[in-house]
Amino acid sequence: MKKEKDYQETPENQTENGAAENAAEESEEAAVSPEEEKIAALTAETEALKASVSEYKDKWIRSVAEFDNYKKRTAKCESKAYKDGKSEMLKKVFFIGDSLDWALAMELDEKTADGIRQLRKKFAAFLEGEGVTEIDPVGEVFDPHVSEAVMQVPAEEGETAGTVKQVVQKGYRFGDDIIRVARVIVIG
């Protein structure tokens, strides 16, 4: 057997060993140059700025999208308000056409009837220019979405039950919307 030199670890030895290790670490840390420290600091700052830029860019993109949606909603609301206002105005002038139609249904001298027919044509041209079309369901199957039945008459020979025989008051459509249903007499 070999004789080994007995080495006992004492608190003094441990302190010396720890001090030596600490000194080695400190010398390694001291070995980091000031340029490397500056690079590390700038790299950390750059990463923080990149994160900040990314966050602001994301917020900007969201803001642009929200504003775009706001503009679309506003344009849609304006368009609807304009259309609703126009249809309300048009509803108020339908009585003119009704009055002209009632006048034409009366017995009139020819000159008066011609004058009223000319006025009725101008009124119809005005409505057409505003995008309004008359609903004329005569001969068609009664549709409660387009017409209102005010009377039902028995079917005569050759007539089909459930069809519109006569329009009592004209209906009107503005674009795709019905702004006044036609009042009709239906064959029963």
Domain ranges within the chain, ordered by starting residue: 133-188
For 101, residues 6+ apart whose C-beta sits below 8 A from its C-beta are: 120, 170
| b/e map 120-152, b = 16+ CB within 10 Å | beebbeebeeeebeebebeeeebeeebbeeeee
Q: Tell me the per-residue pLDDT of 178-188, one tens digit each, with 9 for 90 and over.
A: 999 999 999 98
Instruction: Give the pLDDT confidence of 146-168 residue by residue, as tens digits.
Output: 999 999 999 998 899 999 999 99
Contact 166, 185 (CB under 8 A): yes
pLDDT of res. 30: 54
Q: Is the pLDDT of residue 105 over 80?
A: yes
Mean pLDDT of the residues in the chain: 87
Percent of all residues in the chain with a pLDDT value above 90, rounded to a whole number: 75
**Distance spanning both ends of the chain, measured CA to CA:** 129
Rounded to whole angstroms, how far apart are CA atoms 1 and 114?
143
Nearest Cα to 137, choosing from 155, 149, 120?
149
Predicted structure pTM score: 0.64
Of the CATH numbers 3.40.50.1400, 1.10.3720.10, 3.10.20.600, 2.30.22.10, which one belongs to the domain with range 133-188? 2.30.22.10
**What is the Cα 117 distance to its own chain's centre?**
44
pLDDT band at 28 (very low <50, low <70, confident <90, very high): low
CA-wise closest residue to 137 among 182, 168, 85, 74: 182
